[in-house]
Amino acid sequence: MAILPLRGKLVNAAKASLRQVLANAEAQALFRSVGVGADFDASSARYGRLVICATLAPNAHLTRRG
């Protein structure tokens, strides 16, 4: 298990082109930390699952409720 603090804005991969995703600095940091690159190979990943928690508010903090 690992925790990676993201700085800046992670590109919306659903709306962006592959080139835009690969050029995004936060996406690059995420790929490096997971252990995959442009030639994606799931068997080379450091982790079996990846959970990304995000918020839409630019100054908000994610908190656990309940």
Query: What's the pLDDT score for residue 64?
Result: 60
Q: Where are the alpha helices (DSSP H) in 1-66?
A: 18-23, 25-34
d(CA 24, CA 61): 22
- Given a contact cutoff of 8 angstroms between Cβ atoms, the answer to whether 30 and 4 are in contact is yes
**Cα–Cα distance, 61 to 40 (Å, whole number):** 31
pLDDT of residue 30: 81
pTM of the full predicted structure?
0.58
Question: What's the pLDDT at 48?
Answer: 76
Helix (H, G, I), strand (E, B) or coil at 6: coil
* Ordered per-residue pLDDT tens for the chain, 66 residues: 667 777 777 788 889 998 998 888 888 888 887 777 667 677 777 877 777 776 666 665 556 665
